[in-house]
A and B are shown apart, each in its own frame.
Chain A
Amino acid sequence: MIELIEVSKRFTLHNKGGAVIPVMEGASLKVVPGECVALTGASGAGKSTMMRVIYGNFLAASGQVLVDGLDVAKAEPQEILALRRETLGYVSQFLRVVPRVPTLEVVAEPLLALGCDRQEALGKAAGLLSRLNIPERLWLLSPTTFSGGEQQRVNIARGFAHDYPVMLLDEPTAALDTQNRETVLTLIEEAKARGAAIVGIFHDIEARERVCDREINVSDFNQEVAE
């Protein structure tokens, strides 16, 4: 479902005299349906960069980034938007929403964008929010006023609202208490069971060992960079 072939990524900082910062060189990766692969490496090694290259908000300098057959590195914006709507989900570390929109709607939005029936979408959103222990009295409030942990759980609920065949998870269990962490790990296991291909960053080693089938150390893709 995900295949990276000889992907490189560098940043050119035009306002710093055109300094070029190479981050990734010759990165290759393959993830099949039902598999969860963990990206590891020290902070700054390029884990999040690799996730963003797959999601398409970072442009790869060279190579192919195939997600469900579409080369994200070269696809038209319309194709990437359709891919993100239907196939490719991303749970980032930060919740970014239009202020004033109720939490329930924020979570249901990916389903509404797919043209799902409104009641059905809100029902599924409510189910996820309950599982993640967001009290019902908060559902009609905007998550912008929530605590960090609550926002993160809303973000996870939103990311799991639609059954994406491909998922990117950026530290989904960080800052969660034991019970919520357990719920998130169960959600990931359920996604794998239905055949989702997952790439994730987990600093939580136990969580990583439980849900991930293998690890890729992204430092391997920036050896030249370090020297």
Chain B
Amino acid sequence: MTPLLQVKGIGKRYGAQIGCADVSFDLYPGEVMGIVGESGSGKSTLLNCLAGHLAPDAGQVIFDTRADGPEDTVNMSEPERRMLRRTDWAFVHQNARDGLRMSVSAGGNIGERLMAVGDRHYGAIRDRAIDWLGRVEISETRVDDRPTTFSGGMQQRLQIARNLVTSPRLVFMDEPTGGLDVSVQARLLDLLRGLVRELGLSAIIVTHDLAVARLLAHRLMVMKEGHMIEAGLTDQVLDDPQHAYTQLLVSSVLQV
């Protein structure tokens, strides 16, 4: 099987500071990879380099495109990369406000992504928007309301609907459950797991919450000071951590 994404030696510096260095891994279709580590460890820098929001200084990010097979997205033209971001890729921001257009209705937020890939039939777009609101458990009656009137958890679910409506194959998530209260978090975890299974999505999830990582990720990568220090099967990394830092990380949490 061809990996959906092959990451080879990705590095990014901020002047003398290392953002991330020499990170390599493969991601297969249907697989969820968790990236854990404390804040400042380079998780988000890495995710942004992979998703094309930041230009890495070194390395390759090879994505298996639908049309032309594996292609290095780092050297792609910006329009090509933009097209990928609208179709095969999705990015769920930690703060839903960064991923939504707050002045546009909920239905409009979902419809916008469809229109960006060429959908023009208003009725069809609205129907799909309503269908997706239902899937993320937002009532149809809220379709014309702006996200400013939504709670934090609803905004996050709306952001997920907006991202998944175009059936992407790879979803990048930056702390998708961060800042939400526990009951909402549980609901979102359930939703994400179901979507991954039903749609066969692959995902890369950055989180500092090891319990979230255990429930969502098949594989785990631990980062410290910009380097990948340990990687493997999620329960192996959490139950039998090999590296000193991972042992410290796992033993510092209250029951995962």
**A and B are partners in one complex rather than unrelated chains:** yes
Binding site for B on A (CB under 8 A): 11-15, 52, 56-59, 77-78, 80-81, 96, 98-101, 112-113
Q: What residue in chain A is nearest B198 (Cβ atoms)?
A: A112
Query: Interface residues of B, CB < 8 Å — how many?
Result: 24
* With A13-B247, A56-B233, A57-B235: A77-B190 Cβ-Cβ less than 8 Å: no
Contact of B239 among A14, A58, A100, A112 (CB under 8 A): A58
Return chain A residues, CB-CB under 8 Å to B28: 78
0/1 string, B77-91, CB within 8 A of A gives 1: 000000000000000
Return chain A residues, CB-CB under 8 Å to B120: none
Is B40 engaged at the interface, CB distance under 8 Å to the other chain?
A: no
Whether A57 contacts B239 by the Cβ 8 Å rule is yes
- Expressed in whole angstroms, the Cα–Cα distance for A100 and B190 within the complex equals 7
Contact of A14 among B186, B235, B244 (CB under 8 A): B244
Contact of B31 among A12, A13, A78, A100 (CB under 8 A): A78
- Expressed in whole angstroms, the Cα–Cα distance for A194 and B193 within the complex equals 32
Is B149 engaged at the interface, CB distance under 8 Å to the other chain?
A: no
- Expressed in whole angstroms, the Cα–Cα distance for A81 and B1 within the complex equals 15
Whether A59 contacts B236 by the Cβ 8 Å rule is yes
Whether A112 contacts B197 by the Cβ 8 Å rule is yes
Whether A56 contacts B236 by the Cβ 8 Å rule is yes
Whether B233 contacts A77 by the Cβ 8 Å rule is yes
Return chain B residues, CB-CB under 8 Å to A101: 190
Give chain B nearest CB distance to A10 CB in angstroms: 11
Binding site for A on B (CB under 8 A): 28, 31, 186-187, 189-190, 193, 197, 214-215, 218-219, 232-233, 235-236, 239-240, 242-244, 247-248, 251
**At the interface, is chain A mostly helix, strand, loop or mixed?**
mixed
Return chain B residues, CB-CB under 8 Å to A15: 244, 247-248, 251
* With A59-B240, A78-B28: A99-B248 Cβ-Cβ less than 8 Å: no
Whether A77 contacts B239 by the Cβ 8 Å rule is no
Return chain A residues, CB-CB under 8 Å to B189: 98-99
Whether B186 contacts A99 by the Cβ 8 Å rule is yes
- Expressed in whole angstroms, the Cα–Cα distance for A56 and B214 within the complex equals 15
Contact of A99 among B31, B190, B235 (CB under 8 A): B190
Return chain B residues, CB-CB under 8 Å to A78: 28, 31
Give chain B nearest CB distance to A222 CB in angstroms: 17
- Expressed in whole angstroms, the Cα–Cα distance for A78 and B12 within the complex equals 28
Whether B197 contacts A58 by the Cβ 8 Å rule is no
- Expressed in whole angstroms, the Cα–Cα distance for A80 and B236 within the complex equals 11
Give chain A nearest CB distance to B213 CB in angstroms: 13
Return chain A residues, CB-CB under 8 Å to B219: 77
Return chain A residues, CB-CB under 8 Å to B197: 112-113
Return chain A residues, CB-CB under 8 Å to B236: 56-59, 77
Contact of A57 among B186, B215, B233, B242 (CB under 8 A): B233
Return chain B residues, CB-CB under 8 Å to A12: 242
- Expressed in whole angstroms, the Cα–Cα distance for A100 and B189 within the complex equals 9
Return chain A residues, CB-CB under 8 Å to B239: 52, 57-58
Return chain B residues, CB-CB under 8 Å to A80: 233
Q: What residue in chain A is nearest B186 (Cβ atoms)?
A: A99
10 additional A-B pairs beyond A58-B236, A98-B215, A113-B197, beta carbons within 8 Å, are A14-B243, A14-B248, A15-B244, A56-B233, A56-B236, A57-B240, A58-B239, A98-B190, A100-B190, A112-B197
- Expressed in whole angstroms, the Cα–Cα distance for A14 and B189 within the complex equals 33
- Expressed in whole angstroms, the Cα–Cα distance for A78 and B189 within the complex equals 22
Return chain A residues, CB-CB under 8 Å to B190: 98-101
